[in-house]
Chains A and B, each alone.
Chain A
């Protein structure tokens, strides 16, 4: 989980903050901080689906799942657990 959080933090810092972390925390809300712009969420979902081999449904596109690195990590972990339960041969 720590690794996952670190990876996701790195992704956000590289892609949305362009290396300028400036005290960014894993609990910071993307919505409140304006880190992610009008199209950024599409970019983030694209990344999650590709990097973690998960499929995100429209109904899951809610701030409870996606609005901070902490929530993202929890969401990805849950999704991966489902993938593994459905297909134990999946490498993840």
Chain B
């Protein structure tokens, strides 16, 4: 689409939810519109305000605007990185797209692994933006814009998450709860603006119950909801989902996943994540978006983002307990609280006291580390590097993932308390780098379903940044204020339950029944040929699984990481075919766009 005079051209992936208000403003300033679309609003807003226009947007976006008069390309990505945007340069062009596979359709773009990025994945779970899994291919980080002009790239950060909590006690809990609820209602209202019916995801947890409850209240009709259930009871949350369905009186459908379903779906998962993942959790979400699409829906509201914005993760609890213990390291009593962590992980609960202490212990110097909250996780994940081949380790040599991460922290980071530091690390790095990019947009868009995330509305995030941390998590009660705000809108059992993060079965999904791709990609010959992993170590891991001895978090993460890396190498590096062969509908979302020099 272009402006009437042909000067500005736009390509746009996403939604601007406040386009009606922006359109009204622009009409008053004399802009003429030919359509009712948000795309045209974006184009005119850029014409009016230039790059600063992104500060006015409430939405999820990745777009490019070409100013043909100045021969200037402007790219922008939403604040939290809900929508992906990747780019690369070749000898003759600057290329950008929503997906790496679109860039790889150009024969000029080499398809090579970035081993420093692999090292980061096996430390943090994600490559640190702007790196992707592929050498020379970059992502525009969330909250950033890029200008390409006269052969030069200029990147600026237009938005940054910051925290300035009110002094404790300056407002009543009730007051905070009411404002949180009304802000959330507005965020959902904006996300129900659609020319097609909007459905909801329901996990059985607090966050999606909240978004569905608000959507139901606002639409005033029978809301359609969708969920994942599992054959394996350890992961299944059907009982809670049914409570919410009854409470809200919604019309509900579910997709039930077996180990084999997850294993079979996995190659399609990595085709869409375009990078290795350490959990199988994206696979059921791929199947879920398929169900939504079959039922005739294209838009869903989901609860993603609440754990980051409002303090839901066990990791935040872990941080509090470790700091509390470190304040009196000799205390026998304080570390007993470690038993309160991860109630859903039987192996951690069964762990002897001394080992639980050893795993979560605070070493001298840890308290001063900006990564205090995440050190146990980073250390655990780093152990997966045991499986890398000598060549892969050598290729990443010299890169220090933690040093790289530290360089990107904001100046004020060390002024925040540990809870806020942990929140920042989750919100700004892990959420776009892992959660949203493997479990959000990419799994939904694989079936052309658009996920809308009210908890990541800028007003909700800004309000949350002022809430004192002690109200987000009251002692060890996670998302306390959200529970208080939700009140009777959701069933009491969902408000009071132990948080169970969304997870899916791992090792068993790959090895419970024969899967050709697993046998092929994990064979010693193939591993040796691909050169990323050490065949002998991987064989020992596989044997451990086949003997039924692999029960630990690390073993499961390792197997999923190895299978997914091997799949990505196969699908993108060794033999790249645009368009996923087993699922013909799931080809590149759009062609790459190029600016020739």
Interface residues of A (CB under 8 A from B): 14-15, 17-20, 31, 34, 36-43, 46-47, 58, 61-63, 66
Considering the complex, give the chain B residue whose CB is closest to the CB of A62.
B354
In the complex, what residues of B have CB within 8 A of residue A43's CB? 549, 551-552
Q: Is the CB of B351 within 8 A of A41?
A: yes
Partner among B351, B352, B356, B379 whose Cβ is within 8 Å of the Cβ of A34: B379
Q: Is the CB of B354 within 8 A of A38?
A: no
Given contacts A37-B383, A61-B352, 9 further A-B contacts (CB under 8 A): A15-B549, A18-B534, A19-B534, A19-B537, A19-B540, A38-B359, A40-B355, A41-B352, A58-B352
Q: Is the CB of B348 within 8 A of A14?
A: no
Q: Is the CB of A18 within 8 A of B387?
A: yes
Contacts between the two chains (Cβ within 8 Å), count: 75
Considering the complex, give the chain A residue whose CB is closest to the CB of B345.
A39
CA distance A46 to B351 in the complex (A): 12
Task: Name B's interface SS.
Answer: helix
Interface residues of B (CB under 8 A from A): 345, 347-348, 350-356, 358-359, 379-380, 383, 386-387, 534, 536-538, 540-541, 544, 549, 551-554
Partner among A39, A47, A66 whose Cβ is within 8 Å of the Cβ of B347: A39
Q: Is the CB of A61 within 8 A of B354?
A: yes
CA distance A37 to B355 in the complex (A): 8
In the complex, what residues of B have CB within 8 A of residue A19's CB? 534, 536-537, 540
Q: Is the CB of B553 within 8 A of A37?
A: yes
Can you give 25 contacting A-B residue pairs, CB < 8 Å?
A: A14-B540, A14-B544, A15-B544, A17-B386, A18-B386, A18-B534, A19-B536, A19-B537, A34-B383, A37-B383, A37-B553, A38-B347, A38-B355, A38-B552, A39-B351, A39-B551, A39-B552, A40-B355, A40-B552, A41-B351, A41-B352, A42-B347, A42-B350, A61-B354, A62-B354
Chain B: minimal CB distance from A36 (Å):
7
CA distance A39 to B359 in the complex (A): 9
CA distance A38 to B353 in the complex (A): 11
Partner among B354, B534, B538 whose Cβ is within 8 Å of the Cβ of A63: B354
Partner among A17, A37, A47, A61 whose Cβ is within 8 Å of the Cβ of B552: A37
CA distance A41 to B537 in the complex (A): 20
Considering the complex, give the chain B residue whose CB is closest to the CB of A63.
B354
Q: Is the CB of A20 within 8 A of B352?
A: no
Q: Is the CB of A36 within 8 A of B355?
A: yes
Given contacts A18-B537, A37-B380, contact A42 B351 (CB under 8 A): yes
Considering the complex, give the chain A residue whose CB is closest to the CB of B552.
A39
CA distance A22 to B379 in the complex (A): 18
Q: Is the CB of A38 within 8 A of B348?
A: yes
In the complex, what residues of A have CB within 8 A of residue B352's CB? 41, 58, 61-62, 66
In the complex, what residues of B have CB within 8 A of residue A39's CB? 345, 347-348, 351, 551-554
Interface core residue of A18, A34, A41 (most chain B CB under 10 Å)? A18
Chain A: minimal CB distance from B539 (Å):
8
CA distance A47 to B552 in the complex (A): 13
Chain A: minimal CB distance from B386 (Å):
5
Q: Is the CB of A38 within 8 A of B356?
A: yes
Considering the complex, give the chain B residue whose CB is closest to the CB of A36.
B355
